Structure 1
Amino acid sequence: MTATVNILNQNYARTGQSKQNNELGMREMQARAFEKRNSQYLLIKSPPASGKSRAMMFLALDKLINQGIKRSLLPSQR
């Protein structure tokens, strides 16, 4: 019998800091994603209700306004 090995273990501090907004109105995770806005591909993995859709809105607006992209498609939520 083989033992199950968990190769991905994510712990969160639960300090409430992730609910605080910066000067642009972004949460911590959204600001980190926005810093990587020039990347061709970006995978956002975060807990439910952490603001992934809002982060994608910030990224899409930057691409439309500042990066010369003509349209942006965002996947719908289930």
Structure 2
Amino acid sequence: MIALTEFDRLEASALWRPEGDTQRVEVIVSVGEATLTLSDIKGRVLTHWSLPAVIRVSPPANALSPLPPHLTPMNRSKSTMN
């Protein structure tokens, strides 16, 4: 991982689907030192995830999700970490 020391936080716009087949919502994704935060365009926090608990769920797209409750960062399989 590359350390970006000149930034306190990185932000980007994205589309987020809160649950299954719900409509996607435009959000601001903020990456801090240890968390990923999703906020609406008015700045209200919608959710936040611990970075070690985030997995990519639908390659090749850049879809991310928090780990399911039955997994922890220590026992997830190597296939979920790719």
TM-score range, shorter chain: under 0.3
Q: Hey, which of these two has a bigger chunk of helix by percent?
A: 1
TM-score (norm 2): 0.25
Q: Which has the higher contact order (CA 8 A, sep 6+)?
A: 1
TM-score (normalised: structure 1):
0.26
